[in-house]
Structure 1
């Protein structure tokens, strides 16, 4: 309607300044038209009331042209004090001003009406949404959050809960007390002593996989919680996580270890928080472990940045949260969120990290804050014990050689139980037995399992001969596992004196070749023979790689035996570097090497004297001899008076 009035107004004759009034009749029609526009805008009744308030009603009803023009001026410009009647010369100019003012008024009114219409429409939409939400809420209050679809899914979950398989093998055979963990006596005592103190320490546990590190930590907390001297409560939490699954998120959106903040824009906090733009902190595992133990398996694989953040938590015993969306003055922020942002979340726990890595590969800052405990590799006797105790818990019987066979193929307690579980399943399938019937695992069952798993013996059978010329066992180590290296040598007089050749397999490494050259110098001194007069070939059976000089003494003895044709006892193994002066120098990994010798059934081990403190207190059936010079080695290995001792 406003647009029509504006169009009508523009069509009134003489509405522009440059137009001239041709005659009085035309002016009267123009004045009448303007009053018609006002009547359309305000309505007839309101126009009369408006004219009365502005003392223009009489002038508007007058037959005098100047009175009516004055009435227009008072009504349009809202000026009741206007008294001067326009002269005929000024009437066209006044009418033009009235038209412009009226056009501006109509334009503003048009915009205002459009805005008012939009506001009304928006209010109507909001009102309808509000009514709909209220109705939905009322329906939920009456019927609850459930509907046919949700109830169907709930019923399906309930049905799934009724289906139960037997518990896993590991749950059935897992040790429930510290004494049930086979071996590791020293490590178990160290672990308990560090947790039983009134001031429990953070701990790093080193050791090969499958030797009971996680189980020992869990049981140690239970034992410590029973003691009055410890700060652990009876229900102290034990939170276990694998370090390989944790990654540092620089956006702080997903950090399950330390916690994160759910911002209302990116992740969407709870709806009531999202509507008011309140971020919600989510405490992580370090807070879940508050008052107990946080166990991180494979802690050496933990992201470097996450390790640094964890160190900060260990120092502060709290986790701080931050978000650009947090406003401490916002009245919509709940007290617990304000407390988390301003004070942080408590994280006072004992960290126990387990790793299969060497200590040198662990963050030095983390090591400096933790006590260190070393779990030892399992020897065959201990693996046999694990297998037999697992069979007792499963209530199955074993043929005589089953446990011993499993012990030959693995040094891991977990793997041994896996093999037992496979053999148990095969025995049940073969016999067609039910779960209630007694099952016996035969040697045939375990042999078939080993074939199916393509397994080879971890510990090779040594030859049963008591002594042999040119053959000796050296000792190597990889990580926490020691092993026996079979080294052999042959020596033949050269075709031409002084032009003999010396060969050594390249796969053993350059350090092993250097050991051969050192041995040549030592052998010339102790035998008086020049190795250039012989063709000598030294071999590491199986191509084992020797990264260091620790096979030097063993290589020297193998060549010496080949040159002098003196036999070497085959129950003996040697480790140590040989210098060109004939001294036996210290090497690394002696602790692990002795256990490797024990696994292989070696009963006599020679180690450098400077490594005497690295010899374990318990060596089982292994006798360890500490030597300083090659002469002492010769005395122990080749002297006639010692042959009976060494070969026994």
Structure 2
């Protein structure tokens, strides 16, 4: 090829690549026209013109898309690759200038003018300094660049030609195509080296800055932060691959969708969105992220805005309550009143009812019937033995194992915002150093405050105003007064024998037959047998023992059906003892004759009423008084008050006025292991002491209840219904009670009222006149009619036998 004469040769357009003279380089070729150009050059043995194109995206470049200066090269080797690609090795010969493109099809053919090589540069101090500076910068670059090998530096150090040094370094330096092209187009060796030196200095500064930044980041990153960075990179990759859900993490997307879907109050929604933003910033698997997930799951599981449609049909509710329970008229009436008001005023907030009564009378089961009658979901919370405030209000969510309190847990269990919550055994709450749960319930059971109840775990208000609360208790004594003030108390008293008979026939016996796999034809129990069972084998206010005894009968019957092949078992009052053994209790245990110093008192217990015998013995002595029978302070005070009253009336009662000096009095309450205390035994103790001192017997079919003062006045008592029922159950015929309790007779069962004679008394004089069977000693002007014929006894009209 003659000097400076244009020559036509195949051309190859390079994308993102520049080839320098005297350099050996291999690269991949994919375009069909480029492969044909290589084949032509290889076949004909001629050189090929390698020139870079200005825009990488151009697929079929024209003359205007190519740079003016390229490299005339020899094709050393062509390697065919899978997928129609070719890997070629070329050796740059010299620079060339593109004059024009002769052909573009089937491959580029260009008219190229060779640029002659530069003459050797005269060595000068400036050139030497420039070469040394280039050596130093390139050595620094190799140390900083991660993919550069030190062997490249040896080829540079072996040359002293500034043009070759510039071309070699530019070929091996990952610079932009425009910068490399500028060095290729520079024909003056020293000027070319200066341009390279500037680019090299810039690349070294960039590498140093990158390493400095990486060092700072590496120092700050912890293990969890590195995990977070990797996961963020993974999110980006998933987003680029289209594998994520709407541009975010699947879990976060689900939480966000649930928050939008739920009918949340504004404050709650803002709180959850804030916690969700915190979760997004947490590395996966961290302790804080676990706490936040647990919190979001718990809050979103609550039935925000979900309510069951309430049935406010009073007639239908009455039918349901009557079908499930016999008696309990006061409770049923109160529930039906609530429904009637609800029908007229649907916006009525939830009520707080407290069912108080002995065990086994149906307090818990009636709550289930109420929920069924009014179509509300029900959840039961047992408060017996709870002594931690966090059980009610929950734990702070930052604690390990934190959870909401029982109130919020019950709401979640019920699945609606207007359930019926049964707080069972509210009288058995405890307290210790961890707080007072009864005080925590003050907000829950207050219709004016519970609309914004805040659980410690939730940290947001939850509206409890639509909840119908029903609490149960055996006694009101242990319930704190502020808590009791928030509840409407409904008393469930003991069942009469007739009520127990109906409950056994309608509910208990069918239930036990079903439990034991018996049909009504296989076991028949007569009414008299049930009555005998109630009197002789149970002593309780409720029906739990009765239910167990009926279960025992079913087991005996099942044994006979299976073992003896009997088709039907019929139980009557006569053969009841055969199945259950000897009766445990004898209700009619009254003595056959009147006794001196023995009085039937009446006591109220948490399991109903009981007969409480008072015995007084008088023996010669020095005036000591002794009390036995596991008595409390109130009973002891009653005994001392009675003694003082008798001393003040000794003359009228016909008693030696010096008896307190010459006689010892022993007051005893049998069944001493049972604790006894309460203001109701005063007149019984007084009557027993007068009987013992005067040796006048007390009527055996009479019982009494009431407290006594030093002036002989009879004070009112409580629990009259249970006490009168105990008297009726034990065969008592007459009951003495304080005149102030006359109003309570309206609540007594009709059967008991028909079977007892009630005498209301105001003074102890009337008690003694009614109770002592014999006429008092002469000189007693006030008590001339011991059987109550005088004006001192006020018999209730219509209730005497």
Q: TM-score range by the shorter chain?
A: 0.5 to 0.7
Q: Does 1:383 align with 2:525?
A: no
Contact 2:721 2:747 (8 Å CA) reproduced? no
Q: Map 1:266-415 to 2 at 5 A.
A: 284=412, 288=416, 290=418, 293-300=420-427, 303-304=437-438, 307-311=441-445, 315=449, 348-358=466-476, 360-362=477-479, 364=481, 367-389=484-506, 390-391=508-509, 394=513, 395=520, 396-398=523-525, 400-407=528-535, 408-409=537-538, 410-415=540-545
Aligned to 2:592: 465
1:373 deviates by 1.6
Q: Which residue of the other structure, out of 596, 609, 618, is the alignment partner of 1:482? A: 609
Secondary structure of residue in 2 paired with 1:288 = coil
Distance 2:663 2:326 in 1: 51
Contact 1:299 1:355 (8 Å CA) reproduced? yes
Cα distance 1:487–1:258, how it changes in 2: closer, same or farther (>3 A)? closer
Secondary structure of residue in 2 paired with 1:210 = coil
Contact 2:601 2:611 (8 Å CA) reproduced? yes
Query: Residues 60-90 of structure 1: CA distance to partner in whole angstroms, max 9, x if unpaired?
Result: 3xxxxxx2xx322212325xxxxxxxxxxxx
Aligned to 1:594: 724
TM-score normalised by the chain length of structure 1:
0.64
Q: Which residue of the other structure, out of 624, 629, 634, is the alignment partner of 1:511? A: 634
Q: Map 1:495-510 to 2 at 5 A.
A: 499-505=622-628, 507-510=630-633
Distance 2:762 2:603 in 1: 20
Aligned to 1:627: 761
Distance 1:77 1:294 in 2: 82
> Which of 213-222 and 561-570 deviates more?
213-222
Distance 1:485 1:257 in 2: 41
Aligned to 1:579: 709
Query: Residues 302-353 of structure 1: CA distance to partner in whole angstroms, max 9, x if unpaired?
Result: 743652442466656577799999xxxxxxxxxxxxxxx8x96685243333
Contact 1:474 1:485 (8 Å CA) reproduced? yes
Distance 1:565 1:353 in 2: 51
1:387 deviates by 2.2
1:599 deviates by 3.3
Cα distance 1:127–1:430, how it changes in 2: closer, same or farther (>3 A)? same
Aligned to 1:418: 548
Query: Residues 239-268 of structure 1: CA distance to partner in whole angstroms, max 9, x if unpaired?
Result: 1413328932133764476547xxxxxxxx
Q: Does 1:184 align with 2:316?
A: no
1:208 deviates by 1.7
Contact 2:721 2:748 (8 Å CA) reproduced? no
Q: Map 1:110-259 to 2 at 5 A.
A: 177-178=321-322, 181-197=325-341, 198=344, 201-219=351-369, 236-244=375-383, 247-248=391-392, 249-251=394-396, 254-255=403-404, 258-259=407-408
Query: Residues 138-193 of structure 1: CA distance to partner in whole angstroms, max 9, x if unpaired?
Result: xxxxxxxxxxxxxxxxxxxxxxxxxxxxxxxxxxxxx9552763343344334433
1:505 deviates by 1.2
Contact 2:321 2:332 (8 Å CA) reproduced? no
Cα distance 1:480–1:612, how it changes in 2: closer, same or farther (>3 A)? farther
1:367 deviates by 4.4
Contact 2:352 2:445 (8 Å CA) reproduced? no
Aligned to 2:41: none
Instruction: Specify every segment of 5 or more residues in structure 2 that has no aligned partner in the other structure, as ranges.
Output: 1-141, 218-228, 251-318, 430-436, 514-519, 776-784, 790-794
Query: Residues 87-144 of structure 1: CA distance to partner in whole angstroms, max 9, x if unpaired?
Result: xxxxxxxxxxx6x6664456568899999xx99996699569979999xx9xxxxxxx
> Which of 469-478 and 572-581 deviates more?
572-581
1:541 deviates by 0.7
1:472 deviates by 0.9
Aligned to 2:93: none
> Which of 562-571 and 594-603 deviates more?
594-603
Distance 2:456 2:620 in 1: 80
Aligned to 1:57: 186
Distance 1:5 1:184 in 2: 95
Query: Residues 619-641 of structure 1: CA distance to partner in whole angstroms, max 9, x if unpaired?
Result: 51232222122211111112556
Secondary structure of residue in 1 paired with 2:610 = strand
Query: Residues 533-569 of structure 1: CA distance to partner in whole angstroms, max 9, x if unpaired?
Result: 2233221111143323432221121122122221111
Secondary structure of residue in 1 paired with 2:589 = coil
1:57 deviates by 2.6
Contact 1:240 1:294 (8 Å CA) reproduced? yes
Distance 2:231 2:547 in 1: 76
Distance 2:231 2:553 in 1: 79
Secondary structure of residue in 2 paired with 1:547 = coil
Contact 2:614 2:685 (8 Å CA) reproduced? yes
Secondary structure of residue in 2 paired with 1:284 = helix
Q: Does 1:636 align with 2:786?
A: no
1:196 deviates by 2.7
Contact 1:257 1:284 (8 Å CA) reproduced? no
Secondary structure of residue in 2 paired with 1:467 = coil
Secondary structure of residue in 1 paired with 2:678 = coil
Contact 2:497 2:531 (8 Å CA) reproduced? no
1:293 deviates by 4.1
Cα distance 1:51–1:352, how it changes in 2: closer, same or farther (>3 A)? closer
Cα distance 1:438–1:73, how it changes in 2: closer, same or farther (>3 A)? farther
Aligned to 2:195: 74
Distance 1:443 1:551 in 2: 37
Count of residue correspondences: 508
Cα distance 1:598–1:127, how it changes in 2: closer, same or farther (>3 A)? same
Query: Residues 433-467 of structure 1: CA distance to partner in whole angstroms, max 9, x if unpaired?
Result: 89995444577997698789xx965x865234242
Aligned to 2:687: 557
Cα distance 1:321–1:58, how it changes in 2: closer, same or farther (>3 A)? farther
Contact 1:501 1:536 (8 Å CA) reproduced? yes
Distance 1:372 1:460 in 2: 32
Contact 1:13 1:30 (8 Å CA) reproduced? no
> Which of 467-476 and 571-580 deviates more?
571-580
Distance 1:180 1:392 in 2: 13
Aligned to 1:570: 700
Cα distance 1:433–1:558, how it changes in 2: closer, same or farther (>3 A)? same
Distance 1:309 1:420 in 2: 43
Distance 1:316 1:121 in 2: 44
Contact 1:257 1:285 (8 Å CA) reproduced? no
Q: Does 1:540 align with 2:540?
A: no
Provide the alpha-carbon RMSD of the alignment: 4.9
Higher relative contact order structure (alpha carbons within 8 Å, sequence separation ≥ 6) = 1
Secondary structure of residue in 1 paired with 2:735 = strand
Rg (Cα) greater in structure = 2
Contact 1:572 1:603 (8 Å CA) reproduced? yes
Distance 1:436 1:40 in 2: 108
